[in-house]
Chain A
Amino acid sequence: MFATLLQATGAGDKLVTPEVPWSHLAPQLILVVGATVGVIAAAALRGRLRRSVGAVGAAVVAGAAIVSIIPLWHRVSNPAQGPISAVNGAIGVDRFSLFVTALLCAAVILASFTAEAYLQREGLDGPEFSLLLLLAAAGGSVMAGANDLIVMFIGIEVLSLAVYVLAAMHARRISSQESGLKYFLLGGFASAFLLYGIALTYGATGTTSLLRVQSFLAERVLTDDGLLLGGLALMLVGFAFKVGAVPFHMWTPDVYQGAPSPVTGFMAAAVKTAAFAGMLRVFVVGFASYADLWRPVVGALAIASLVVGAVMSVVQTNVKRMLAYSSIAHAGFVLLGVDAASAEGTAASLFYLAAYTAMALGTFAVVTVVGGSGDGAHTLDAYRGLGRRRPGLALAMSLFLLAQAGTPVTIGFLAKLGVIRAAIDADQWALAIVAMLTAVISTFMYLRIVVAMYFAESESESDDRGELRIPWGVGVTIGVAVIATLVLGVVPGPLEHLSDDALPVLVAVDGR
C-alpha cells in the first residue's frame, strides 16, 4: 500500500523516514514507555502487586518526565540554540510545550495520589488506572507540541481514549459506565468535526503542517477562502468540545458527575489544559493571520461559557455538577486569554490553566473524600456540618472554593486578573465586564458550599455516617494544592515568569 501511495505522490521509490532526535522527545518518551512497561508488568504480575504500586509508579514516571524537561527548557531558552522542531517539523519543542507537559505531569502526580486512595476504598484493581493517566498526559504533551494538524489529532485521540476508559473505570457503578460511554460517543462526534476541519484545511492549503500553513497564508491572499474558513470553523468546534465551552458543553455535567471523582479532577485540570494548549497553538500561532475572523467566535464562546457556566452552577444541588458548570465558567475565562490573540493573552491563559490545575485537583480530592464509600455522596447535604466534623478538610475546601471564586491572596485571583487584563489590553471591554459579573454569580455558588460546610446544621443521618477517613494519598494532594494555591497567590513571580516565557513558536529548525 505504501508503494502505491508513494508512486501516486511521485516521491520516488525510496521511503525517506525522518530522523528522530530521541533526546528532545524525552518527556513524551518517558511517559509512553513508562505507561507501556507498566501495563505489561501489571498484566504479568496480576494480583501480586500491592495496590499503591501503580500510583507511586505513575508518580515516579511523571516526576522523571518533569526532571527530563529541565535540561530541555534550558536548552530552548538559550538564545544561541532556541526552540527546536523534531521529526521533520512535526513536533515542536519549545517552552510552551514543555510548560504544558510539566503541568500535565504535575496533574498526573496529584491525580494518581488521589486515585490511590479512591481505588483502595472502592476495592478496585488498579495499576491500569494510574497508567492510563500517564498515557493521557503523553497525548496531551503531543498536543502541546504538535506542529502538524495530523499529529495534533493523534495527540487528542491518545488523550481522549485514555480518558474515556478512565471515566468508565468504576465498572460496578452504572453511572461511571454511562459517563464513559457518553463521553466516548460525543467525543467521537467532536473528533469527527475536528478531523473534517483538518481535511478542509488541507484541501485549502495543501498541507497539514502548521508551519507551512502559516507561510502559505503569509505569501498569498486567497480570493476564495471558503474551504479554509470551513476548516477553521470545524476545528474550532472540535477544540471547543474538548475544553467544554458552551454550546459544546452538554457532556460536561453528566460526565463529570458520573466519572470517578479523581478522574473528574484530572479531566478538569489536565484535559482542559491539553485542549487549550492545542487551541492556542493552532489558532493563536498557526492561524494568527486569520485572527480577525476567528476571534469573534472565540469571544462569543467565552461569553456563552461564562454566563451559562455561572448561571447553571447556581441552580445545581449536586456538588460535582456545580463544579462541572464552574469548570465551564473557568473555560470561559481561559477563552478570554485565547481571544486576546496576543503573547500576553497566551501567558495569561497558561497561568490560569496552571492555577486551575492546582485548585481543581485539590477540590476534587476533597470531593473524593466526602463522596464516601461508593462515591455517591455528592449532594450539598453531604457537605453540611463538614466544618465541625473535619475542620481541616473543610478549611482546605473553603480555600479551594474561594480561590476559584477569585479571592485575593490566592492564585485564583491573580489568574482571573491576568486574563481580564489581557482582554482589556486587547480592547475587549465587553468580555472583561461579562467575566467580572459572572465571577460574582459564581461566587454565590462557591459560597453556598462554604455556607453548607460551616453554617448549616447537619442532618442527623449525616452524622451517622461516622468519621470520614482521609487516606495519606489524598492528604498529599490536598496539602500540595493548598500550598500551591496560597504560596503562588502571594508570590506569583516564579510561575508568572515561566508562563510569560512559555510562548508557542513555529520553527523549522531541526535542532540536533
Chain B
Amino acid sequence: MSALVWLIPALPLAGFVALVVGGRRLGDPWAGWLATAAVGGSFLVVLGVFADLVGRGAEARSIHQELFTWIPAGSFQASMGLLADPLSITMCLFVTGVGSLIHLYAIGYMHGDEKFSKFFTYLNLFIFSMLMLVLGDNLLLTFLGWEGVGACSYFLISFWHTDPANASAGKKAFVTNRVGDWGFMVATFLVWTSVGSIGYLDIANAAHHGEIAAVTATAIAVLFFVAATGKSAQLPLFVWLPDAMAGPTPVSALIHAATMVTSGVYLLVRLNPILHAAGWANDLIAWVGVATALVAATVAVTQNDIKKVLAYSTVSQLGYLFLAVGTGNYVAAIFHMVTHAFFKALLFLGSGSVILGMAHEQDMRRYGNLRKYMPITAGTFIIGWLAIAGVPPFSGFWSKDEILAGAYAHNKVMLALGLITALLTAFYMSRQVFMTFFGPERWREADAVATGDGDHADAHDSAHDSAHDDHAHHLTPDHTPSESPWVMTLPLVVLGALAIVGGALNLPFTDSTKVLEHWLEPVVGVHELGVEGATLVALAAIAVVLGLVGIGLAGAVYLARRIPASTVERPEFGWGLWIDRGYAAFMGGPGRALFDAISRFDKAVIDGAVDGVANAVGAAGAVLRRTQTGRVRNSAIGLATGAVAVLVYFVVRMSF
C-alpha cells in the first residue's frame, strides 16, 4: 500500500481534470457523484496507507516517496516528494473523510444551481491542493498547496459573484491572506539559508542536532506564525473568515471550518522541531491564540446570522488550537483539530440544511421551533452543540479539556481566559440552538425582526450581515420548512456519530487509551502535560460546570425569557469588530491617501520607465522595419552583408 501514496492526491486531481473536460456534459447531479467518488476513492487509499503504517513499528512509520526532482536550480533542489507519516496521514484521513461527506452533501445542496459542475470542479481542486499541502515533503510543495487552497477558497467565496458583496468578500480573503503568505515566503527563504534545504526531514534533522540558532529559529517560527494567522484567521488577520461565509454552505463547512483554516496549525505542528528552539515565539503563539479565542467568542454572542455565529465560533476554536501549539501541546492541537472538524462540519452542514429549509433566510431571529419540521437536522445539530459546548461524553469535551490542562501547566492567566471562552462558547451555541430549533415559530410573525428581541444589534452588524448565502429571500409567514433529502442528512448522521465518539481517539484515563498521542509520537515527540490525576479531574469538572452555566444562562434568556436578551447581547461584545472597522477606516482614510500616493509614483516613475522602454522598442522596431522591404534583392544584400561581416571578423582574428 505504501507505494500508492501518490494516488491520494492523484485521484482528486484526476477528478478535477475530468470535470474540467467533461463536467458540463455530465451536469447535475452526475458531476457531483464523480467528484464525490474521486474523493471517496482517495479516502480508501488513505485508509490503506493508514493500515500499513499502523502495522509498522513506531520508528518505521514514515513513507517518503520522491516522485521526481522538480526544480533543480544550482544547489537549490526542490523535489516532488510525498511524506506520509502519522501526522500527514491523520490530516489526510479527516480531509478526505470529512471531504467526501461534504461532497455528498453538496450534491443535494447545490442541486439546481446553474454552475453545479463548476462548483465540484473547484471542490476537487481544493481537495487536491489540501492533500498536497499536508503530504508535501518540503516547504515549497506545502506552499504550492497553501496557495492552491487559497485560490480555491477565493473562487468559492465569490462563487455567486454576481452579488457584489460576495465578490468583495472574496477579495477581502485574498488581500488578507497575501499578508500571511509574505510571512510564509520569507520564512522559507530563512529556512533555506540556515538549513540548506527545505525538506521537512532535513529541517527536523538540523533542528535535532541544534544546527539552527535560537534567534533564527525564533524568527522562522514568528514568520510562519504570521502565515498561519492569515490562513487560520487569527488576530489580527481574522477579519476575512466571517465574510467568507458568503460562499455556499458546503464550502464554509469544508474549507472555512474543517480543513483549510487548520493548515496553519498543521504547518506549525509539522515544524515543531523549530518551535522547540524558538523561545518566546511559543508564548506569542499561545497568547495570540487565547486572545483570538476570547475575542471571537464574544463577537459570536452578538451575531444573528446563523452562519456568522459559526464563523466566529470557528475563529475562536482555532484560537484554542494555537493555544495548544504555543504551549507545546501538539497532540491536543491535532486532537481538537480532528474533533472540531467533525462537529464544526456537522454544525455548518446542519445550518445549510436549515437555510435550505427556510428558503435561504439566514437570520436566526426569524427561525424557531424547527425541530418539529426538521427532526434529523435538529437532532444532529444538537449533538454538535453538545460537543462544542464541552458536555461529556461528547468529543469536544475531551479535546478541549486537554488544551485547557496544557494551558494550566503553562500559565494560569491563559487557563482563565480559556475557561471564560468555554463559558461563552456554551452560551452562544445554546443561544443559536434555542433560537433556531426551539421557541415560537417567529417567521410567522409579520415583522419579526423589528419586534424581535435582538433589534439593538442591528446597528453594528447590519453592515456585516450583507454577505448572505444566497441573494434570494422569499421567506413568507406561511412557509412550511421541510427536511432535506437523504444525500444531505446522511452526512449529518455520520458526522453526528463521529462527533459523539470522536473523543475516544485520546482518552486520558490510562496510558493505553491515549491512542492519538502514541500514534503521533514519531512526529511530535513525547510531551508531558505536567498535570496529574486529581488536578485534571478538577479542571474537567470546572470546565463542565462552566459549560452548563453557559447553557443554563442561554436557556434563561432565550427559552424561559427570564432575562431580556438586550442585557446580554451588549454592543460592547462586538469589540472584535472594531478591528474590522479599523481596517475599513484605515483603507478609506490615510491608507487610501497612501495608496494614491504610491499609485501616482507608479504612474509617473514606474509606468514612465515601462512606457519609455515600450516606446523605445516601438521606435527601434519602426526603424528596423524599414530594412524589411520584402524584396528578395534586399534580403540577398542583407545576407551578403552579414556574410561579409562574419568573414571580416575571422580575417581580423586570423591576423592577430
Contacts and interface: CB of A to CB of B under 8 A. Distances in A.
Task: Determine if chain A interacts with chain B.
Answer: yes
Interface of A: 181-182, 185-186, 189-190, 193, 225-226, 229-230, 232-234, 236-237, 240-241, 247-248, 250-251, 253-254, 293, 296-297, 308, 310-312, 314-315, 417, 441, 444, 491, 493
A229 B638 contact: no
A229 B650 contact: yes
Contact of B628 (A232, A240, A253): A253
Interface in B470-503: none
B621 interface: yes
Task: Report, nearest first, the 9 A-B pairs whose CB atoms are least far apart.
Answer: A315-B621, A250-B635, A247-B642, A229-B650, A237-B643, A233-B650, A493-B68, A250-B638, A233-B647
B509 interface: no
Given A237-B642, A312-B625, A493-B69, A230 B650 contact: yes
B630 A315 contact: no
Contacts of A250: 628, 634-635, 638-639
Given A234-B647, A241-B639, A296-B649, A186 B632 contact: yes
A225 B650 CA distance: 10
Contact of B620 (A185, A240, A311, A444): A311
B653 A314 contact: no
A254 B630 contact: yes
Given A233-B646, A312-B621, A315-B618, A293 B653 contact: yes
Given A233-B646, A233-B649, A251 B635 contact: yes
B625 A185 contact: no
Main secondary structure of the interface of B (DSSP, over half): helix
A189 B643 CA distance: 11
25 contacts: A189-B639, A193-B643, A230-B647, A233-B647, A234-B643, A236-B646, A237-B642, A237-B643, A237-B646, A241-B639, A247-B641, A248-B638, A248-B642, A254-B630, A254-B635, A297-B646, A308-B624, A310-B617, A311-B617, A311-B621, A311-B624, A312-B624, A312-B625, A314-B621, A493-B68
A182 B647 contact: no
B639 A229 contact: no
Given A248-B639, A315-B621, A315-B622, A293 B632 contact: no
Contacts of B622: 315
A464 to B, nearest CB: 27
Nearest to A417: B73
Contacts of A193: 643
B614 interface: yes
B636 interface: yes
Contacts of B624: 308, 311-312
A480 to B, nearest CB: 15
Given A186-B635, A247-B639, A254-B630, 20 more contacts: A182-B635, A185-B636, A186-B632, A189-B639, A190-B639, A229-B651, A233-B647, A237-B639, A237-B643, A241-B639, A247-B641, A247-B645, A248-B643, A254-B635, A293-B650, A297-B650, A312-B628, A314-B614, A417-B73, A444-B614
B537 to A, nearest CB: 55
Contacts of A226: 651, 654
Contacts of B630: 254
Given A226-B651, A233-B646, A253-B628, A314 B618 contact: yes
A182 B632 contact: yes
A444 to B, nearest CB: 7
A189 B651 CA distance: 22
Interface of B: 68-69, 73, 80, 614, 617-618, 620-622, 624-625, 628, 630, 632, 634-636, 638-639, 641-643, 645-647, 649-651, 653-654
A208 to B, nearest CB: 20
Contacts of B621: 311-312, 314-315
B639 A441 contact: no
Nearest to B643: A237
A230 B80 CA distance: 50
Contacts of B69: 493
A234 B644 CA distance: 9
A181 B632 CA distance: 9
A186 B643 contact: no
Nearest to B642: A247
Nearest to A313: B621
A315 B620 CA distance: 9
B626 to A, nearest CB: 11
Contact of A247 (B620, B638, B647): B638
A447 to B, nearest CB: 12
A190 B635 CA distance: 11
A189 B641 CA distance: 13
Among B80, B638, B639, B653, the most chain A Cβ lie within 10 Å of the Cβ of B639
Contacts of B639: 186, 189-190, 237, 241, 247-248, 250
B478 to A, nearest CB: 44
A441 B650 contact: no
A453 B653 CA distance: 50
Contacts of B643: 193, 233-234, 237, 248
A481 to B, nearest CB: 16
Contacts of B634: 250
B227 to A, nearest CB: 21
Given A234-B643, A247-B641, A441-B617, A315 B649 contact: no
A248 B643 CA distance: 8
Nearest to A236: B646
A137 to B, nearest CB: 26
A313 B596 CA distance: 35
Nearest to A494: B68
Contacts of B653: 229, 293
Nearest to B618: A315
Nearest to A444: B614
Nearest to A247: B642
A314 B618 CA distance: 7
Given A250-B634, A312-B621, A225 B642 contact: no
A315 B621 CA distance: 6
Given A247-B641, A312-B624, A315-B621, A297 B647 contact: no
A314 B646 contact: no
Nearest to A408: B71
A230 B646 CA distance: 9
Contact of A314 (B80, B617, B641, B645): B617
A253 B624 CA distance: 13
